[in-house]
Each structure stands twice: as structure tokens, then as C-alpha cells.
Amino acid sequence: MTERIVLAYSGGLDTSVAIGWIAEATGAEVIAVAVDVGQGGEDLETVRQRALDCGAVEAYVADARDEFAEQYCMPTLKANGLYMDAYPLVSAISRPVIVRHLVAAARQFGASTVSHGCTGKGNDQVRFEVGIQTLGPDLKCIAPVRDLALTRDKAIEYAERNELPIVTTKKNPFSIDQNVWGRAVETGFLEDIWNGPTKDVYDYTDDPAFPPAPDVVTVTFEQGVPVALDGRSLSPLQIIEEMNRRAGAQGIGRIDIVEDRLVGIKSREIYEAPGAMALMTAHRELENVTLEREQARFKKTVDQRWTELVYDGQWFSPLKKNLDVFVDETQKYVSGDIRMELHGGRATVQGRRSDTGLYDFSLATYDEGDAFDQSSARGFIDIFGLSSKVATERDQRVEGGGSVDSLEDVAKLSNESTGA
Ligand code: ARG
């Protein structure tokens, strides 16, 4: 039986050429798999037909938008997933959902190998192949761009020679990956990290310098997941889409960073994630209201580790699954409403409301008749500071002298620092 290879297919030039390129290089039959994660553009049927026209023996397309929103974007929101405190994991979370469909298609069509269009320099090759190995340990992986010397110039030449039904003329200067959670743009003049992004880099967001009137939105959460906007119940996908529109119109969620890739390269990346960033602002504030202090402090560490695992292609790893359990458990009472003003590049929280919150007005108020017993504060502070105080006494006994500089020394130091 002829060997079969499943190819992650986008409908673009490189993966369209890859169909024939792989078939010629390996003698295998190629099955194209296209997954819709909200990247927009052509409809799935057009993409399916093009795969067949380019020589695929089968073409499988999946609308995974709800699956992606519910099972990948929502966990990222619950974990406040921001790599290097900035990047909301846009591409990193789309790879595992694509991997699930690739492995399912490999099983359905009896393929032994899975192929993707990544280069050898990025994170995405790692995410695809680690994911494929984990879900299908018997499957092999190949990457035509990396392993079969398929360059862009060769792709254009191949497409023209074979009269493939794809547009090869317009050369986009950027490498773009996008889905409903956001958009990633790299390469071209952005590789000079002194260059600022030009207007044509952006698509999901309008210029925050010229915003329309402020837009006030109330996001309702249940157990860490947004369930309604301004009182209208919506699915996670609908909420992300509407927030992309509304926050995007205000220029919210533009990110420009130099990022540490897993493969050791520092790279310059521009992201736009208006919905994701606005929802994360709301989610974090609702956690401030509903999580107990120590739980919140520890969750920050867990969130960061979760984010690094996901960035590093470990979505299906045991530790990532363990951390999911912790994060989910913390979200038990993360329910309520957050009111935000979206304006001029910022989502600003203005109001919070939760039946399961820990904010207690009678404890917090500085008005008359509060419930907090201030007389207990003294004893608490005495004991809280005791260990440091005992240590100071020891230092004085052993080293001699006072622990604090004399007034003269303090004056001298402050004069030095002001240059007086
Ligand atoms: N650097 C980002 C990441 O590793 C984005 C990658 C985007 N891929 C692309 N082909 N533009 O998650």
C-alpha cells in the first residue's frame, strides 16, 4: 500500500506547493487538512477544493472555532497567559488544536506521517511535532520547508510551472499568523528592532491615537469564563469576536516585543489581540476581588509556569495538565461582573460586582462603625516583625554598634545622591 502523509494545509502558496513537493520527494499520497481557528479569509470549501486541485488525494476541513475558543482560549484566559508578561500565546495555543485534527485525520485516512509548513527556526515546528509525538507516538513528522528544501522562490517557480490555482504575484513582506485570539506579525523591516511598526502592520486594531467615543462594556464571568456582554448571553467564541471588534476599534491590544524563542533566538514580534487583552484585564480584576490573598499570590507563579509550558509546545504534557487542575479549582468563585471603559488603546476597569467576592465593605471602610477591630493590629504587628527584630539584636551583639546610620551619615548620603 502506498504510504500516506497528512499535511497541515492553509490554502496559501507554501502549503499548496508542499502537496506536490512532498508527493514527488517521498512517493507518498498527500492528504490535506485545513483547520479553521478563526483566521478569516477564504471559506473552508474553497480551501478544500484547492487542496484537491493541487494534487491531494483527500482533503479534510474542520471548523474548530468553537472548540478553539472554549478549550484553548478560555484556559489561557483563566491562567492569564501572557508570555514575558506581554504575549497572549496566540500562535502557541492554535498549534495544539490543529495537532488534534491532524492526528485524528492521520488515523482516519491511515497515514503514517504528519507534515507541517514551519521553518527550522521557530517555535511552531516544536509545538507541532511535540504535540504529534504526544498524541500519536507512532507517527513520523516531516517539514518540507525545513527538511525537503522548499524555499519561497522554489515554491513560486513550482506553482507557476505546474499551473497551480494560487496567486503567486503579491509578495507580503511579513510572516503573519492569525486566529480569533489574535494576530502575530514578523519579518521584513521589523527585523531591524529600531524600526517602529508602520500602519500596514495592523489589521485587528485601529490607531489608538484617534479613537472613537469611549465604549463602556460589562463582562459577566462564571467560574473564570466570560458568559455575557452587557447582559447578553454569548458563547466564548462570540464574546471574543465582539470584544475584538469593540476593543479593536479603540486600538487596544497592540504589542511590540523582542521575544525569547524556545530555539534560543531573540526575535521581534508585533501582536494584536484586542479581545484577549481586554478580557484578560477584566478577568484579572475579578480574580483580585474573588481570590484569597495567598491563593492569588501562588497562582501568579502557576500562571507563569503554565504560560511557559504552553509557549514551549507542552500543551499535552503531564505537568501542564496538573496545572490546569489547579487553575480550574481557583476559578470556582471567579464569578461576577466587571465594567470597563474601552478607549484610546486602554481597557480600564471602572466597576466590579460579585456575589462570591471577598471584598467586605464593613471591613474596608474608613467610615464610622466599621467591623475591623483596629486594636488587634498592634499585637499582630509585634509578632509579625518579631523575627527581624530578634535578628537585629543578634547583629548588634555580634557586630557591635547600631544597625542604623547616624543622622550625619544619612545626611551625607542624601547630599551625595542629590549632588549637593
Ligand atoms: N513568535 C510567536 C510564537 O512563537 C508567533 C509565531 C507566529 N508564526 C508565524 N508564522 N508568524 O508564538
Contact 115, 22 (CB under 8 A): yes
Q: Which atom of ligand 1 is nearest to the CA of 271?
A: 5
Q: Whose Cα sits closest to atom 4 in ligand 1?
A: 123
Q: Which of 10, 14, 36, 100 is catalytic?
A: 14
Q: Is 159 contained in some domain?
A: yes
| Maximal CA-CA distance, the chain | 90
Same domain, yes or no: 313 and 212: yes
Structural domain of 160: 4-173
95 is a catalytic site residue: yes
Please indicate, yes or no, whether residues 211 and 104 belong to a single structural domain of this protein. Answer: no
**Domain contains 202:** yes
Indicate whether 65 and 143 sit together in one domain. yes
pLDDT at res. 410: 78
Q: In degrees to the nearest 10, what's the CA dihedral of 395, 397, 401, 402? A: 50
Q: What's the pLDDT score for residue 252?
A: 98
Q: Average pLDDT for consecutive 10-residue bins of the chain (420 residues)?
A: 95 94 96 97 94 97 98 98 98 98 98 96 97 98 94 91 80 87 93 95 97 98 98 98 98 98 97 98 98 98 98 98 98 98 98 97 89 93 97 93 73 71
Q: Has residue 389 been placed in a domain?
A: yes
How many structural domains is the chain composed of? 3
Single out the residue in 173, 205, 240 at which a domain terminates: 173
Q: What is the pTM of this model?
A: 0.94
Instruction: Please tell me whether residues 325 and 236 are part of one structural domain.
Output: yes
Q: Is residue 239 assigned to a domain? A: yes
Instruction: Flag whether 369 is in a domain.
Output: no
Q: Which atom of ligand 1 is nearest to the CA of 175?
A: 11
Same-domain pairing of 167 and 180: no
DSSP 21-62: HHHHHH--EEEEEEEESS--SS-HHHHHHHHHHTT-SEEEEE
Same domain membership, residue 310 and residue 204:
yes
Please indicate, yes or no, whether residues 168 and 224 belong to a single structural domain of this protein: no
CA atoms within 13 A on the CB side of 82: 19
124 Cβ below 6 A of ligand 1: yes
Considering the domain architecture, whether residues 282 and 409 belong to the same structural domain is answered as: no
Residue 261 within a domain:
yes
In a domain, 368, yes or no: no
- Is the minimum distance from the CB of 93 to ligand 1 under 6 angstroms? no
Mutate to test the pocket of ligand 1, among 116, 177, 315 (most ligand atoms within 8 A of CB): 177
Chosen domain end from 114, 143, 173: 173
Q: What DSSP designation does 333 have?
A: G
Looking at the structure, do residues 358 and 391 belong to the same domain, yes or no? Answer: no
Work out the number of other CB atoms within 10 angstroms of the CB of residue 115.
33
3-class secondary-structure state, position 192:
coil
- To the query of whether residue 14 is one of the catalytic residues in this protein, the response is yes
- Residue 339 shares a structural domain with residue 202: yes
Catalytic one among 48, 95, 254, 346?
95
DSSP letter for each residue of 145-182:
HHHS---HHHHHHHHHHTT-SS--S---SSEEEEETTE
Q: Are residues 184 and 149 in the same domain?
A: no
> Could you tell me the CATH number of the domain that includes residue 48?
3.40.50.620
Residue where a domain terminates, one of 140, 158, 173: 173
Please indicate whether residue 312 is annotated as part of the active site.
Answer: no
Pairing relation of β-strands 4-8 and 29-36?
parallel
CA of 262, closest atom in ligand 1: 4
Q: Which three cell numbers mark 2?
A: 502506498
Query: Quick one: 143 and 184 in the same domain?
Result: no
Which domain CATH number covers 237? 3.90.1260.10
Nearest residue CA, atom 6 of ligand 1? 91
Residue 199: predicted pLDDT: 93
Query: How far is ligand 1, taken at its centre, from the CA of residue 89, in Å?
Result: 9
